[in-house]
Amino acid sequence: MMVSFFDQFASPSFLGIPLIAIAIALPWVLFPTPPSRWMNSRLITVQTWLMNRFTNQLMMPLNVGGHKWALLLASLMVFLITINMLGLLPYTFTPTTQLSLNMGFAVPLWLATVIIGMRNQPTVALGHLLPEGTPVPLIPVLIIIETISLFIRPLALGVRLTANLTAGHLLIQLIATAVFVLMPMMPAVAILTAAVLFLLTLLEVAVAMIQAYVFVLLLSLYLQENI
């Protein structure tokens, strides 16, 4: 039984060919494209309004140099939200439950922010490793601690997204299994458990959106430190 719970996180394959590439590319097909007419549809209007609000909120703390990242960060957030939401549908696979995929997003973007900081303002970037006013005996220890915390950042990004989505999917499957087991024996308890399952599903929808936003927000904060 425990093995079957974790089978949903295994990368699907067909005839030995991994299908994770299709799962990653599918969300881009679902995005509506702007029509050639003067008047946009309601869906396009809502999508444009949400993207404008998110971009303004994300780019507000950054200076003009960081605004070049607006398109990349906004696209990444929409992509992550779509993948996370599609993963809540029955008989689907969520690529963001794979740590390798999340690290593939986190490491290059984090490394890009560090390289930008070292290229544009190396003194300030290196100054983050040693707080001002540190006693001389603690300087080597603090430099080591700050360096470790710097390199842990991409790992924290990937693990946070993976752990939250994995835990939510496991809880949904466990409670759904409990509903099917309890239905013939204790219908009242099964109905109450099904209500809890419905509330948990709504919570997971919120988590799917919030975790995508947190992933991009932390990247913007890392960028803010280096520009």
13-56 pLDDT per residue, tens: 766 677 777 777 777 776 666 666 666 677 777 878 888 888 88
Residue carrying the six token digits 């593939």: 104
Q: What is the pTM of this model?
A: 0.82
Residue with structure tokens 């939250």? Answer: 164
Distance CA 77, CA 95 (A): 15
Closest Cα to residue 120, out of 57, 55, 59, 63? 63
Identify which of 53, 34, 56 has the alpha carbon closest to the alpha carbon of residue 44.
Answer: 34
Residue spans of the chain under pLDDT 70: 1-10, 12, 14-16, 30-40
Helix (H, G, I), strand (E, B) or coil at 177: helix
The per-residue pLDDT for 1 is 45
Instruction: Give residue limits of the domains in the chain.
Output: 7-226
